[in-house]
Structure 1
C-alpha cells in the first residue's frame, strides 16, 4: 500500500474524477490535488482512486444499493484493494449537493465542506473508522491535521448534528 521512504520511483497514483452534479462548481485539478495531498499525508504513493461527485438522489441510490441505507449522505467509500496488496485502490462518491446544503444552513464555505467530505472518505479508505467515540475522535483529529496542512478551514465541530450530513462507508456496513 505504501512505498518505502527511500524508494526513488515517482508516485503513480491515478485519479479518475467524474462530476455529474450541478450544485457546486469544482476545479477538477484542485479536487485531484487535494486527494493526492490527503493520500500522500497517509503514505499512499501508488494506486488508483475513482471519485464520483454527485447530487443527493444519486448518492442516496448508491447508499441504498450498496449499504442498504435509504437516505442521502455526504460521502460513501469503497476500498477495493486488500491490506498488504502492493497498490491502493478505492472508490468515493461525494454529494456536492449535501456540501452546499450543509454549508448554507451553517454559514460555511461549501468548498471547505466538500473538502471535509473528500478527506473523510479518503481516511476511511486508509483504514480510519468512526463507529466508536474513540475512533471518531481519532478520525476527527486527523481530518483537522490534514485540512490544516492543506490550508483549508475546518468546519466547526459544535454544529447541530441534525444539520450536518452523516457518513457511510462500506466498512461501516460490514462489507
Structure 2
C-alpha cells in the first residue's frame, strides 16, 4: 500500500512527499480507515479538463478530481490536482499557495473517507474536516 505523487507537464510542487504521506495516513486513521494505494497526479488545467470531459462528462475546469477505488475500510484512489487552478484559487481567496495546495490534497482524501460536498450542509462539513486535517498537519510540523 503506497501513496504516490507524480507531476505531468508541470513543475512538481514543493511538498515533502514522506511527511505529506504520513499526514494523509494520520487523517485517514482518524476516520477509522486504512490507507491503501492513493495516487496523486499534479497537472495543468488542460489535463484536468480532459479528464473531466472524458470520465465525468463535465466541460469545466476544477481544482481536483477524485476517483474512488476504496473497498471496505481501506481507502484507495486516483487524485488529479490542477496546480493552475490551485494557484488561481489561492489568489482569489487570498490564501497562501502552499496552504491551498494542502487543502486540496486532503480534500481528495476526505472524499475517499466518505465526506461529500454536494449540498450546503455537506460543504460545511467538508470545510470543517479540511480545517481539522490542516490543523493536524501543523501540529506535526509539516
Global fold match (TM > 0.5)? yes
The residue correspondences of 1:15-164 to structure 2 (distance < 5 A) are 15-20=3-8, 21-22=10-11, 24-82=13-71, 84=72, 87-151=74-138
- Helix, strand or coil for the counterpart of 2:65? strand
What's the CA shift for 1:106? 3.4
What's the CA shift for 1:112? 0.5
For 1:157, the equivalent position in structure 2 comes to none
CA deviation map 1:9-54 (0-9, x unaligned): xxxx411211222274333334323322322322323411111111
For 1:162, the equivalent position in structure 2 comes to none
Asked if the contact 1:63–1:69 (Cα under 8 Å) also holds between the matched residues in 2, the reply is yes
Query: Distance in 1 between the 2:113 and 2:133 partners?
Result: 13
What's the CA shift for 1:81? 2.5
TM-score, length-normalised on structure 2? Answer: 0.84
Asked if the contact 1:99–1:111 (Cα under 8 Å) also holds between the matched residues in 2, the reply is no
Asked if the contact 2:12–2:42 (Cα under 8 Å) also holds between the matched residues in 1, the reply is no
TM-score, length-normalised on structure 1? Answer: 0.70
Greater displacement, 136-145 / 49-58: 136-145
Taking a change above 3 Å as real, the CA distance of residues 46 and 121 of structure 1, as seen in their structure-2 partners, is closer
For the aligned residue pairs, the C-alpha RMSD in angstroms reads 2.1
Query: Distance in 2 between the 1:38 and 1:60 partners?
Result: 28
Structure 1 segments of 4 or more deviating over 4 A?
A: none
Query: Distance in 1 between the 2:88 and 2:122 partners?
Result: 26
Query: Distance in 1 between the 2:22 and 2:3 partners?
Result: 10
More helix as a share of residues: 2
CA deviation map 1:147-170 (0-9, x unaligned): 112228xxxxxxxxxxxxxxxxxx
Query: Distance in 2 between the 1:23 and 1:96 partners?
Result: 9
What's the CA shift for 1:63? 1.0
